[in-house]
Structure 1
Amino acid sequence: MPLRTETGEPGATLLHTDDGTPLARLRLRDDDGTLLAERVRPLPGADLAQVAAQARRDLAGRRLTTPDDALARALVDGGLRLRRAATDMRHYLAELPPLPALPDGWTLRAGGWDDDLAEGLAAAYGAGHPDGPWQDGDTKEIRGMFERGEPVPPLAQACARVVGPDGRSAGHVLCAGPVPWTEDECAWILNLGVAPRAQGLGLGRALLVHAMHGSRAAGLPRLGLEVADSNHARRLYDSVGFQVRARALSVDLPPLG
């Protein structure tokens, strides 16, 4: 079989040619009905066109993610669409910047979800956002986390809402951790956003630094995130000391037939 479990590394799978030549290392996962082939890494010396062709056949119907730009290009050159291009980043929490002071009348509250946040994030994630417009499914997923702990529970110490002088939520940071999709032990930022009406006040930085302090207080050594190419938030992450870990590119592989 072209897909074989790799001995000595739990959860790892090798993609082979039909004659048994190993081509790439990856992990298979089902994320609430979305079949994933994660962290696909061609082995040294493997022909990328052959890896792409074998993946299209033996991983058909899955969402492939890879840190390898050249493999992503080979799949795109073969007629597929790059679904998302992002950078996987980490902050090592041994040293942290101080918590910024908030503007007068603004406060940080416990994490949670309300209609004001839904309205504000829908405005912040417009049609031109690198991650696309806010969807009803995004709200449903966040509500599920807070109400049922699904698909992962929030990390309470690292989550927060920012509330304005009018008492309305204007942004939040949502964290979980440790999370099953990373190989290292870390907290993870699932969503960080500020409504357009409250942008330019330093609230995004305050939420981010709160998440860093909260993750460390929860006993986690690192805080991770993915930031899409062309997302202006990348400048904020760089400015507080996040470091590049890997590229994160995804392509949906069509089903056979």
Structure 2
Amino acid sequence: MPLHHDDDHTLLHADDGTPLARLRLRDDDGTPLADHVQPLPGAPLDRIAAQARHDLAGRRLHTPDAALAQAVVDTGLRLRRAATDMRHHLADLPAAPTLPDGWTIAPPGWDDDLATGLAAAYGPDHPDGSWQDSDTREIQGMFDNGQPVPPLASAAARVVGPDGRSAGHVLVAGPVPWTEDECAWILNIGVAPHAQGRGLGWALLVHALHGTRAAGLPRLGLEVADANPARRMYDRAGFQVRTRALTIDLPPLA
């Protein structure tokens, strides 16, 4: 049987029973994932790629292994996203900065101003692509019913301008079920274009770090896409590279 479940993991086998790769099957807000796909020692990458195309068809494949990702791409597919998985171990946290006059850090929440501001911030040239209505629905679901995960109240926050309107946020959940280590996770951080250039993104990130430690969690994680200028901010804050995160959509079988 090509897929064999073993405790918390799944093994991908060749049709002749040879074990090829280790992975986790999960669902991310309706998107079926083959997560953290790792070749087993000695398994040929082209064989793993072909078997994955068949037995994981219709799933989004995540792997930290660049050579495996290239082998899957070589079957005629496109790399959807290349990113870096990072962690902060919450020691030596940066001090909370002084905000510009009239700007405040407010409790987390979701409103129309945030939806409009983030849609403008995540334009078509953003490394993660344009903001989608599905992004808004997912965040609303987190605040309305805690699905797929509830916000971590101590670490999540909005930034509010002198006019009393939301201009950005950091959305943090934790502990999250999709990591092998215990950590909180930054799901989204963004500032509306009209409010950028004031250090507000940095203030939100520092708030998330301190709020995660206050919640008693040992780490704060995030994933940053290649070419995202926010990477410089994460390096400055003390986040450390954990692994690569390469994503490919596997088409359904014809």
TM-score norm. by structure 1 comes to 0.97
Partner of 2:8 in structure 1?
11
Give the drift of 1:124: 0.3
Partner of 1:93 in structure 2?
90
**Aligned residue type for 1:4:** H
Q: Tell me how far apart the structure 2 counterparts of residues 137 and 256 of structure 1 sit (CA, whole Å).
A: 25
Partner of 1:177 in structure 2?
174
Farther off after superposition, 23-32 or 190-199: 23-32
Partner of 1:65 in structure 2?
62
Partner of 1:228 in structure 2?
225
Give the drift of 1:140: 1.0
Partner of 2:248 in structure 1?
251
Matched, 1:102 2:120: no
Any idea what SS the aligned residue of 1:113 has?
coil
Partner of 1:164 in structure 2?
161
Could you report, residue by residue, the CA deviation over 1:36-65 in whole angstroms, capped at 9, with x for unpaired residues?
A: 110000112211111100111111111110
Any idea what SS the aligned residue of 1:220 has?
coil
Partner of 2:26 in structure 1?
29
Residue 192 of structure 1, aligned match among 155, 170, 189: 189
**Where does structure 1 differ by over 2 angstroms across 4 or more consecutive aligned residues?**
30-33
The CA RMSD over aligned residues, in Å, is: 0.9
Matched, 1:122 2:157: no
Q: How many residues align?
A: 254
**Aligned residue type for 2:137:** K
Give the drift of 1:32: 3.2
Could you report, residue by residue, the CA deviation over 1:169-207 in whole angstroms, capped at 9, with x for unpaired residues?
A: 111000000011111000000000001111111100000
Could you report, residue by residue, the CA deviation over 1:118-160 in whole angstroms, capped at 9, with x for unpaired residues?
A: 1110110001001111111111111111111111100000011
TM-score norm. by structure 2 comes to 0.98
Stretches of structure 1 that go unaligned for 5 or more consecutive residues are none
Any idea what SS the aligned residue of 2:148 has?
coil
Matched, 1:79 2:76: yes
Identity %: 77
Give the drift of 1:33: 2.5
Partner of 2:51 in structure 1?
54
Stretches of structure 2 that go unaligned for 5 or more consecutive residues are none
**Aligned residue type for 2:23:** L
